């Protein structure tokens, strides 16, 4: 396993890790690897499959242009994006990597092939440079979920990362459990040892703490921001109003489980920020970015930990281990296996992380993760209007509550369970393979079609 906690948790912008973060990274990588740009006279980007079908709603068009301009997901300023794009469109000119200007308009140089899919993944894109002497450079990239990208024909590890020999290598949960049984170490302890082969203890702690801070800031901003989400559906942001109600004095509609209501609001706040193109952490995707922050805040504030800093770090390392297994042995791409690979995986990651932070055993951690995925099997990805809003925002709220329930069930048991995590991950992979393409982030089926059809009929 050559992945890191910092591969699973990446600071970026919304609304989508596979349709926004990945294409931005790919566009910039194409130009960086192209060599000198001095004689370039034109550039073109073509989007295929899911990227074309839901690209505008997922801001893929904006992301590609920003990537060609040299911007990165972690450093671009969300509040400046629209102004930057408008200025480029007005000039009908794009400065490649911020230095070399070429003629460019979105209408002429950004192409959408909605009925074509490239062979290696539903999220395909082709970039082409034209030089003054008439020669062309063209490359194909795939956005494979969670902000990860892969060049056509690229196999093995993560692009740009040198493989490192780990003290506790694992490709399955069974292998990780065997390491723990042999050494007496917990899953977060083993993940920490693996991470320290790449970074120092200080860098690891500071990096994880930084990710948690961005998550907290995202929740806070989402709970304070009202208004309407962009995109045309006129979806109203609800988290801020519901949060004020939850913290107010009106108890007329209070239910016995309203403590968990706050957790769902944390998650919804994050995904409203994501839908608005704000700063979020991919966890493991943007479409499922609210679940882990919500459960982390629940742990830090409601579980009264004696050492919350240590607990949060153990939570994150454990959650990353589950995400690594899901990505390696199935997928975290909604365009590849549906929302079970996004919300389902995030739920499993959060459940396992919570058990680890609360001192659960390795078997209890596995049990919690297995429960989290098992009860999302078959979940489709059918965003209305191609926007990461309906049903995505509420799904994060529900996923956070289900993660806490899964953790509770696991902690109240002794770790023995019938279905293994490896088995349920393989089941998720097979279920995704069997799922019709129209239910996998194309907006060609499910709610995306039914609701739009009903609304049109009512007009």
Task: Output the 3-class SS for the chain.
Answer: CCCCHHHHCEEEECCCHHHHHHHHHHHHHHHHCCCCCCCEEEEEEEEEEHHHHCCCCCCHHHHHHHHHCCCCCCCCCHHHHHHHHHHHHHHCEEEECCCEEEECCHHHHEEEECCCCCCCCCEEEEEEEEECCCCEEEEEEEEEECCEEEECCCCCCCCCCCCCCCCCCCCCHHHHHHHHHHHCCCHHHHHHHHHCCCCCHHHHHHHHHHHHHHHHHHHHHHHHCCCECCCCCCCECCHHHHHHHHHCCCCCCCCCCHHHHHHHHHHHHHHHHHHCCCEEEECCCCCCCCHHHHHHHHHHHHCCCCCHHHHHHHHHHHHHHHHHHHHHHCCCCHHHHCHHHCHHHHHHHHHHHHHHHCCCCHHHHHHHHHHHHHCCCCCCECCHHHCCCCCHHHHHHHHHHHHHHHHHHHHCCCCCCCCCHHHHHHHHHHHHHHCCHHHECCCCCCHHHHHHHHHHHHC
69 is a domain residue: yes
Query: Is 299 inside a domain boundary?
Result: yes
Q: Tell me the pLDDT tens digit for each residue of 262-294.
A: 999 999 999 999 999 999 999 999 999 999 999
Place of tokens 């912008």: 13
pLDDT of residue 163: 80
Query: Given a cut of 90, is residue 258 above it in pLDDT?
Result: no
Tell me: do 63 and 187 sit in the same domain: no
Mean pLDDT of 358-370: 98
Q: Taken in order 35, 36, 37, 42, is the CA torsion positive or negative? A: negative
* Average pLDDT in the chain: 94
Confidence at 252, pLDDT banded by 50, 70, 90:
low
Q: Is residue 219 part of a domain?
A: yes
Strands 110-113 and 40-49: parallel
Average pLDDT over residues 76-87: 95
392 shares its domain with 440: yes
What confidence tier does 260 reach under pLDDT thresholds 50, 70, 90?
Answer: confident
**Residue 205: partners with Cβ closer than 8 Å, 6 or more residues away:** 313
Q: What is the pLDDT of residues 4-25, one digit of tens each?
A: 999 999 999 999 999 999 999 9
pLDDT class of 459 with cuts at 50, 70, 90: very low
User: What confidence score (pLDDT) does residue 159 get?
Assistant: 57
pLDDT (tens digit per residue) in 217-247: 999 999 999 999 999 999 999 999 999 988 8
Residue 454 predicted with pLDDT over 50: no
Q: What percent of the chain has pLDDT over 70?
A: 95
User: Do 184 and 146 belong to one domain?
Assistant: no
Instruction: Quick: pLDDT tens for 88-128.
Output: 999 999 999 999 999 999 999 999 999 999 999 999 999 99
> Do residues 227 and 78 share a domain?
no
Residue 82 belongs to what domain range?
15-151
Q: Tell whether 204 and 147 lie within a shared domain.
A: no
Q: Report whether pLDDT(31) > 50.
A: yes
306 and 372 in a common domain: yes
Per residue in 293-305, pLDDT (tens digit) is 999 999 999 999 9
**The predicted structure's pLDDT at residue 246:** 85
Structure confidence at residue 245 (pLDDT): 87
In 3-state terms, what secondary structure has residue 3?
Answer: coil
pLDDT for 218 equals: 97
Q: How much is the average pLDDT of 305-313?
A: 97
Residue 2 forms part of a structural domain: no
The answer to whether residues 104 and 204 belong to one domain is no
Which of these three, 116, 151, 186, is where a domain ends? 151
Per-residue confidence band for 254, with pLDDT thresholds at 50, 70 and 90: low
Sheet holding 123-131, edge to edge: 110-113, 40-49, 123-131, 136-145, 148-151
What is the total count of domains within the chain?
2
Kindly report, residue by residue over 167-188, the tens digit of the pLDDT: 999 999 999 999 999 999 999 9
Residues 431-452: tens digit of each pLDDT: 999 999 999 999 999 999 988 6
Has residue 456 got a pLDDT over 60? Answer: no
Q: Are residues 269 and 218 in the same domain?
A: yes
Report the pLDDT value the prediction gives residue 113, as an integer from 0 to 100: 97
pLDDT-based confidence at 257, cuts 50/70/90?
low
Give 255 or 457, the one with higher predicted confidence.
Answer: 255
Mean pLDDT of 144-155: 92
**Residue 157 within a domain:** no
Does 374 lie in the same domain as 283? Answer: yes
Residues 134 and 212 reside in one and the same domain: no
> What is the band of 458 on the pLDDT scale with cuts at 50, 70, 90?
very low
Tell me, yes or no, whether 3 lies in a domain. no
Question: Which of the residue ranges 141-150, 230-239, 356-365, 444-453 would you say has the lowest mean pLDDT?
Answer: 444-453
Same domain? For 395 and 301 the reply is yes
């Amino acid at each position: 396993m050559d992945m890191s906690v910092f591969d699973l948790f990446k600071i970026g912008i919304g609304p989508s890790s596979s349709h926004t973060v990945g294409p931005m990274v790919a566009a910039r990588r194409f130009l960086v690897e192209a060599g000198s740009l001095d004689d370039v006279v034109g550039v073109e980007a073509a989007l295929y499959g899911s990227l074309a079908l839901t690209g505008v709603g997922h801001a893929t068009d904006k992301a590609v242009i920003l990537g060609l301009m040299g911007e990165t997901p972690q450093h671009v300023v969300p509040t400046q994006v629209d102004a930057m794009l408008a200025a480029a469109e007005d000039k009908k000119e794009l400065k490649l990597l911020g230095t070399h200007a070429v003629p460019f308009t979105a209408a002429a140089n950004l192409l959408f092939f909605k009925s074509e899919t490239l062979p290696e993944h539903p999220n395909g894109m082709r970039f082409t440079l034209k030089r003054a002497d008439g020669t062309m450079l063209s490359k194909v990239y795939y956005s494979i979920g969670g902000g990860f990208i892969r060049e056509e024909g690229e196999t093995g590890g993560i692009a740009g990362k040198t493989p490192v020999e780990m003290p506790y290598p694992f490709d399955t949960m069974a292998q990780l459990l065997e390491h723990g049984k042999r050494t007496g170490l917990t899953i977060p302890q083993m993940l920490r040892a693996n991470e320290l082969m790449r970074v120092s203890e200080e860098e690891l702690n500071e990096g994880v703490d930084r990710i948690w801070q961005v998550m907290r800031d995202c929740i806070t901003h989402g709970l304070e921001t009202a208004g309407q989400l962009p995109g045309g559906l006129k979806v109203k942001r609800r988290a801020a109003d519901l949060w004020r109600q939850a913290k107010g004095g009106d108890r007329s509609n209070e239910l016995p489980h309203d403590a968990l209501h706050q957790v769902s609001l944390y998650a919804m706040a994050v995904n409203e920020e994501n839908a608005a193109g704000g700063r979020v952490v991919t966890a493991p995707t943007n479409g499922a970015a609210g679940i882990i922050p919500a459960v982390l805040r629940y742990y830090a504030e409601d579980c009264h930990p004696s050492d919350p800093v240590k607990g949060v770090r153990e939570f994150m390392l454990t959650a990353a281990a589950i995400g690594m297994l899901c990505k390696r042995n199935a997928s975290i791409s909604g365009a590849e296996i549906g929302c079970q690979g996004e919300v389902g995986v995030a739920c499993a990651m959060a459940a396992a992380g919570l058990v680890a932070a609360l001192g659960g055993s390795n078997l209890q951690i596995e049990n919690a993760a297995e429960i989290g995925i098992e009860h999302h099997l078959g979940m489709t990805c059918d965003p209305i209007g191609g926007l990461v809003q309906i049903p995505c925002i509420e799904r994060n709220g529900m996923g956070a509550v289900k993660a806490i329930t899964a953790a509770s069930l696991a902690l109240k048991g002794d770790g023995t369970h019938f279905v293994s995590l490896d088995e349920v991950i393989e089941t998720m992979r097979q279920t995704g393979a069997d799922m019709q393409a129209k239910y996998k982030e194309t907006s060609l089926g499910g709610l995306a079609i039914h609701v739009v059809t009903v609304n049109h009929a009512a007009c």
